[in-house]
Every structure is written in C-alpha cells, then in structure tokens.
Amino acid sequence: MNLNWDFIIESLHLYGEAALTTFRLGFWGILFSLFIGVICSIILYFNIKGLGKIVKIYVELSRNTPLLIQLFFLYFGLTKVGIVLSEEACAIIGLSFLGGSYMTEAFRSGLEAVGVTQIESGLSIGLSKLQLARYIIFPQAISVSMPSLGANCIFLLKETSIVGAIAVMDLMNITKNLIGMYYQTYESLFMLVVSYLIMILPLSFFLTWLERKVRYAEFGN
C-alpha cells in the first residue's frame, strides 16, 4: 500500500483547519459540560427541591440517547418549529447536553465520596458552610472524580467525530469529501487517524498527569 505523499502534503492545510474546528468544538463542549456538571451535581448533592427532579430527568434523557439523534433533533427538528441555530452552535449545544450528564455523574460520585467525618470535623472547627465547601468538600471531591472526568473529556473529544453529520466541516467531513472527489482513500483515512491521534494522545497523557497531581484525597485512608 503506497501512500501518495504529494496528495497528503497538499491536503495538509485542509486537515489542519478541520482539526482546529474539531478541537474548538471539543473545547467548548467540554467546558460547558463541566459547567453543567458542577451545577447539576451541586443541585443533586444538596437535594434542592424541585430542581433535583429536573436534573435527574435530564441526566437519564441525555445518557440514554445517541448524540447523533440529539444533533439531528437540534439541527433539523428545531428549525421547523422556529428555533434556528448554526451548525457549530448545534454541535456545541449537543455536545454539552450529552457531556453535561456524564460530568454530573462524575462530580456527584466525587461529592458523595467525601466522608461524613470530614464534614463534621470541618463544622466542629467552626467553618462556615461556604468555607466547608471551599476547603473541605470540593478539593476532595474533585480529586476523587478526576479519573472519570478525564475519561469523559476524552469521550467528548471523540464524540465530536459525529458532528460532521450536520454539515460541520470537521475531520470526518473533509475525509469523506476527499475520498469522494479524488479517490485517495488510503491517504485520506491515514490523515484522519493521524489527526485524531495528534489530538487525543497528548490530552490522554495530560489527564493522566493531572490525575496523579490531584490525588491528595487518598492520603491517610
């Protein structure tokens, strides 16, 4: 299988742009997911009346349906009832909708892992509720949930491969177009895999490093 390197060099800028698009979508998707995750997990943890139920329904709905359908619904379905969103906005909303529930679960399990003794000790040395959250609960919860948060980040970056289906010019779409136009199948697929490896491998190493860095909750257990 001989690769046509001239073609690869020529299409390099296309893949560069597409990779940036994918990366940008992944970045915003992960950021908003984390945001949604923190808020929803706090709502669940403190069992805020009324909102808790809504969060639970949201989590189940988003975890048990495929991203592709969520995107189609956002992009094609909502346009028809008057809500028009750009492709990229749809992609980011879809990713955040999906990722938010995964992040919620990750944070919640971290929050629940903080022992009652920790909270009681904090209260007994006279910390206010805010201080308790700031100095006792959150640092430990984040440390515990770090592995699953990391896994979710990688999961979301991989899920961005689906947004090509709603006409975002991402890596998948570029590949499909190049295969269709020039029949350079191996070269296009080769570039596709390399692009994903360049994005995902460093992130994976970084997350493993970060995980080791924040592993202070286990001390003394």
64 exposed, middle or buried (CB, 10 Å; 0-12, 13-18, 19+)? exposed
Closer to another protein by CB, 10 or 60: give it.
60
Please, what is the minimum distance in Å from the beta carbon of residue 11 to another protein?
15
Please, what is the minimum distance in Å from the beta carbon of residue 156 to another protein?
11
Closer to another protein by CB, 136 or 159: give it.
159
* Helix (H) or strand (E) segment spanning residue 208: helix 185-213
Structure-block tokens of residue 155: 């999961």
Residues 6 or more apart whose CB falls under 8 angstroms from that of 59 comprise 40, 101, 104, 105
Residue of 75, 92, 82 lying closest to 159 (CA atoms): 92
Structure-block tokens of residue 78: 């909502």
**Angle subtended at Cα 29 by Cα 22 and Cα 172, rounded to the nearest 5 degrees:** 25
Would you tell me which residues interact with another protein (CB under 8 A)? Answer: 1, 60-61, 63-70, 72-73, 76-81, 158-159, 161-162, 164-165, 172, 175-176, 179, 185-186, 188-189, 192-193, 196-197, 200-201, 204
Closer to another protein by CB, 143 or 173: give it.
173
Closer to another protein by CB, 27 or 186: give it.
186
User: Would you put residue 98 in left (φ > 0), alpha (ψ -120 to 50) or beta?
Assistant: alpha
d(CA 172, CA 151): 22
Please, what is the minimum distance in Å from the beta carbon of residue 132 to another protein?
28
d(CA 101, CA 108): 10
Closer to another protein by CB, 63 or 129: give it.
63
Please, what is the minimum distance in Å from the beta carbon of residue 76 to another protein?
4
Please, what is the minimum distance in Å from the beta carbon of residue 64 to another protein?
4
Closer to another protein by CB, 134 or 189: give it.
189
- What are the backbone dihedrals phi and psi of residue 146, each rounded to the nearest 5 degrees, phi first? -55, -50
Please, what is the minimum distance in Å from the beta carbon of residue 220 to another protein?
23
